[in-house]
Chains A and B, each alone.
Chain A
Amino acid sequence: MGQQISSALRQSLHRIVLVLASFLPGILAFLAALIVFVLIGWALAALIRRMLIAVRFDERLASRETAGSPAVLADWSPSNSPTLLASRFTFWVCVLAGIALGISAFDASYSGDSRYSTFLFPYVAHFTGAILILLAGGIVARFLARTVLIGAVNAQLQYARFLSHGIKWLVLVFTGAMALDHLNIGGGVVELAFGILFGGIVLTLSLAIGLGSRDLVSRSIEKSMEKPVPLRPTEVDPLTDTETPPRPKLRHF
């Protein structure tokens, strides 16, 4: 009995050592590939940064933008520098390439079956894609939320913050559902939940805007019927039937 237990333990230990012996070179190959590509990425990023700084890339790009342009490359860049954006993009592309190559190297050096790598490789790609979707969604949500907030405040809508939050969560929910779908998590449940949540937010916003903008709509209808309506401080008095237009009380320009 004791001998059998001891033999079973020795065999288990032997198998573990065998697996470890075949697994470690794979890990080392993965790490080596990753480190080499990180170094290449770092060098390339530094080279690109130096080159773009030398040719004054940021200044040239800024001089091509008009003052009123709504969204430009610099606004989406880290520290508002397209040079930094380009160099970081190069670095991370190299890191991702290193991970992909590392997994392939791991697959080649690992003598066991390749179930892990055949599962891991596409999943890492999907995972990276999902992270990029989340990042892009976060940036777009913040941009749209600010646009709506400022526009609504300047239009003197009392529910400006509510509207801004609504837009932000609409985009975030949409992005989250896309990321989960990309990762094949949840399947039909995510689609159903997203449909309910998205529809709910849209309905809530519609009701809020509809109920909150009654005076705005009535103002618009009254304007079209040429009835005098009180003006906002930034509005100019519309022309009346008289020959010369009445001089507005406030003239901003």
Chain B
Amino acid sequence: MSSTTTIADTNFSTAPAPHSVAEVLVCLPSISTAAMPSAFQAIAAAFPDEFVLVASSDIHADAAEFPSLELVLYTSAIADIGWVLATGDYAAAAHIAVERNARAVILLGDDNALIDPSLLRDLADSIRSKNVDLALPRFSTGPSDALVNSALLYPLSRALFGADIRFPLAINAALSTRMAQRLITTTQRPIALNQASSLLWPVSEAAIAGLSVREVPSQIPPPTPPPQEDFNALFTTIAGSLFADIDAKATFWQRARNLPLRPSQPGPSLSSPPEASEEIHAMVESFHLAQGNLQEIWSLVLPPQTRLALKKLAQLSPNDFIMEPGLWARIVYDFTLAFHLRTLNRSHLLGAMTPIYLAWVASHLRTVADDPTRAARSIEDTAQAFETEKSYIVSRWRWPDRFNP
């Protein structure tokens, strides 16, 4: 539970105004001490004409230089995987927001991100003036960026929860009072079970509660995990958390309607596909290795026609390596179902999915050929394939044995 202490209690008073004046609360759950001065500067620059509550887990003397900021001490959580917001972060921020009557709560989860004042202002404005309950930044990405988002998180969130949010795994987020109250209720159980550091998917929570979600464009690239983090462990944790969330909310997405399908626009054609790069070769090689060794495990999860499609895919050379979006969507849905049914140990399941994800990355890179327009088209195709194949997961979820020989 969060403990709030104003800096007035700790001889660091910089707040000349009463508490009720501050409409915006900015929470800095995991920001490092070194990054604090620039964070204060960015917050003060973003809201030059108003008082802002800043919640931090430590006392910082630098706050005294900014009279418009009122520092609030609170206890947040350290996420299982570091650079994203955890359940405990949302709970602590929501409690302070309700206690202090803040209209907009901004959470900045990443330790190393450049804090953009215009992004902070846009996030707060979305909540205050556009009647939005959850605002998330849409980071600027290149063709080879945020690949797990493009392959898995975005298409699944869009297809199952009807939320067209490019980065559903929130690193920075803004919440309304309604969303904060909803999160207080939602986070009670995981915190009681001592799971404050687990991940929370705010987009699906907002979708279930019927709250509005919007993206705020940002010019900065998405923050990345610390370089020492192991990709396999991160992938397992994030995909596992998303699958668990989908499992828990099955009754909602099985009857929810899809977003209206966008008219398909033909992407720019690739007249002469370039030679596959060394990275694509390595990923295709990794897929070949898995195809030769993981058949026993894949056969527990994937139906025969999907395994046959993977077998045909494995016969392609890196220069012709293209995985159809529909095939990838069905594979992800099959793994989601296996996660729900506990067909095999969940760590094994997600580990066995990693090489197929790498195959999708190889195919994606091959398709986009370093062209941002083509990359956007490819991501849109993938997301639409997930929407088209939604009936597949709904059928399999209801009658899982019908698809197995």
A250, B361: Cβ atoms under 8 Å? yes
The segment from A18-26, A155-163, A190-198 that touches chain B is A155-163
Q: Is A80's beta carbon under 8 Å from chain B?
A: yes
Check: A219 CB closer than 8 A to any chain B CB.
Answer: no
Report the Cα distance A252→B153, complex, angstroms.
Answer: 12
Decide yes or no whether A212 CB sits under 8 A from chain B.
Answer: no
Contacts A67-B237, A251-B145: A161 and B293 contacting too (C-beta < 8 A)?
Answer: yes
B355 closest partner in A (C-beta): A153
Interface segment out of the listed B172-180, B208-216, B345-353, B391-399: B345-353
Nearest CB to that of A250 among chain B residues? B144
A149 vs B355: C-alpha distance in the bound complex, in angstroms?
A: 13
Q: Check B275 for interface membership: any CB of A closer than 8 A.
A: no
How distant is the Cα of A67 from the Cα of B240 in the complex, in angstroms?
A: 5
Knowing A153-B290, A233-B279, A233-B358, say if A253 contacts B351 (CB, 8 Å).
Answer: no
Nearest opposing residue in chain B for A161, CB measure: B293
Main SS of chain A's interface residues?
A: loop
Q: Note all chain B residues with C-beta closer than 8 A to A252.
A: 146-148, 231, 234-235, 361
- Place the interface of chain A in its size category: 35 or more
A232: chain B residues at CB < 8 Å are 282
Q: Tell me, in angstroms, the Cα distance from A36 to B280 when the chains sit together.
A: 66
Query: Is A66 interfacial (CB 8 A cutoff)?
Result: yes
- Give a binary string over B227-245; 1 marks a CB under 8 Å from any A CB, 0 the rest: 1000110111110110110
CB distance from B265 to the nearest CB of A (A): 26
Interface readout for A156-172 with B: 1 if CB under 8 Å, 0 if not? 10101100100000000
What is the number of residues of chain B that contact chain A, defined by CB distance less than 8 Å?
Answer: 54
* Chain B residues whose CB sits within 8 angstroms of the CB of A72 once the complex forms: 346
Bound form: Cα–Cα A70–B237 in Å: 11
Q: Which of A70, A154, A160, A238 has the most CB of B within 10 A?
A: A154
Check A239 for interface membership: any CB of B closer than 8 A.
Answer: yes
A68 at the interface (CB under 8 A from B): yes
Q: Are B283 and A67 in contact (CB under 8 A)?
A: no
Does A75 interact with chain B (Cβ within 8 Å)? Answer: yes
In the complex, whether A74 has a CB less than 8 A from a CB of chain B is yes
The yes or no answer to A63 lying at the interface (CB within 8 A) is yes
The answer to whether B348 and A150 touch across the interface, beta carbons within 8 angstroms, is: yes
Closest chain-B Cβ to A166's Cβ sits at a distance in Å of 14
Using an 8 Å CB-CB cutoff, how does the interface string of B146-189 with A read, 1 for contact, 0 for none?
Answer: 11110000000000000000000000000000000000000001
| Residues of chain B contacted by A249 (CB below 8 angstroms) | 144, 279
**Contacts known (A66-B195, A153-B290, A154-B232); A250 close to B346, Cβ less than 8 A:** no
A164 — which chain B residues lie within 8 A by C-beta? 293
A160 touches B80 (CB 8 A): no
Q: How far is the CA of A251 from the CA of B222 in the complex (A)?
A: 10
Q: How far is the CA of A238 from the CA of B226 in the complex (A)?
A: 11
Option from B238, B294, B346 in Cβ contact (under 8 Å) with A153? B294
Give the shortest distance, in Å, between B229 (CB) and chain A (any CB): 8
**A216 to B369 alpha-carbon distance, docked (Å):** 30
CA distance A156 to B354 in the complex (A): 12
B residues less than 8 Å from A63 (CB atoms)? 189, 193
Tell yes or no: A245 within 8 A of B by CB: yes
- Report yes or no: A235 in contact with B231, Cβ–Cβ below 8 A: yes
B355 to chain A, nearest CB (A): 6
Which residues of B have CB within 8 Å of A70?
Answer: 345, 347
Across the interface, which residues of B come within 8 angstroms of A158, CB to CB? 289
- With A66-B198, A234-B358, A252-B147 as given contacts, are A149 and B345 in contact (CB-CB < 8 Å)? no
Asked if A68 meets B286 with Cβ closer than 8 Å, knowing A253-B222, A253-B234, the reply is no
Do residues B227 and A236 form an inter-chain contact, with CB atoms below 8 A? yes
Given contacts A70-B347, A234-B231, A239-B227, contact A251 B144 (CB under 8 A): yes
Whether A206 sits at the interface, judged by CB under 8 Å, is: no
A156 and B193 contact, CB distance less than 8 A: no
Cβ–Cβ contact B227 & A154, under 8 A: no
Interface centre among A66, A75, A146, A252 (most CB of B within 10 A): A252
The contact string, 1 if C-beta is below 8 Å from chain A, for chain B 333-345, is: 0000000011111
Q: How far is the CB of B365 from chain A (nearest CB, A)?
A: 8
When distances are taken between beta carbons in the complex, the residues of chain B under 8 Å from A156 are 285-286, 289
B residues within 8 A CB of A80?
341-343
Interface status of A115 (Cβ within 8 A of chain B)? no
A233 touches B283 (CB 8 A): yes
Residues in chain A near residue B144, CB distance under 8 A: 249-251
A147 to chain B, nearest CB (A): 7
CA distance A63 to B238 in the complex (A): 17
Q: Is A214 an interface position by the 8 A CB rule?
A: no
- Which A40-71 residues have C-beta < 8 A from chain B? 63-64, 66-71
Q: Which B338-385 residues sit within 8 Å CB-CB of chain A? A: 341-348, 351-352, 354-355, 358, 361, 365
Q: Which residues of A contact B193 (CB under 8 A)?
A: 63-64
In the complex, what's the smallest C-beta–C-beta distance from B85 to chain A, in angstroms? 14
The CA-CA distance from A68 to B144 in the complex, in Å, is: 27
Is residue B326 within 8 Å, beta carbon to beta carbon, of the partner chain? no
Nearest-CB residue, chain B, relative to A76:
B345
CB distance from A65 to the nearest CB of B (A): 9
Known: A66-B198, A233-B282, A233-B286. A143 touches B231 (CB 8 A): no
| Closest-CB distance, A237 to chain B (whole angstroms) | 8
Contacts of B342 in A (CB 8 A): 74-75, 80
22 CB contacts below 8 A, A to B, read: A63-B189, A66-B198, A68-B80, A68-B236, A68-B240, A69-B347, A150-B294, A153-B293, A153-B355, A154-B354, A233-B286, A234-B231, A235-B231, A239-B227, A249-B144, A250-B144, A251-B145, A251-B147, A251-B224, A252-B147, A252-B148, A253-B225
Supply 18 further A-B pairs (C-beta < 8 A) apart from A68-B346, A150-B351, A253-B146: A63-B193, A67-B198, A67-B244, A69-B346, A72-B346, A75-B344, A80-B343, A146-B348, A149-B294, A153-B294, A156-B286, A234-B232, A237-B227, A251-B145, A251-B146, A252-B146, A253-B147, A253-B234
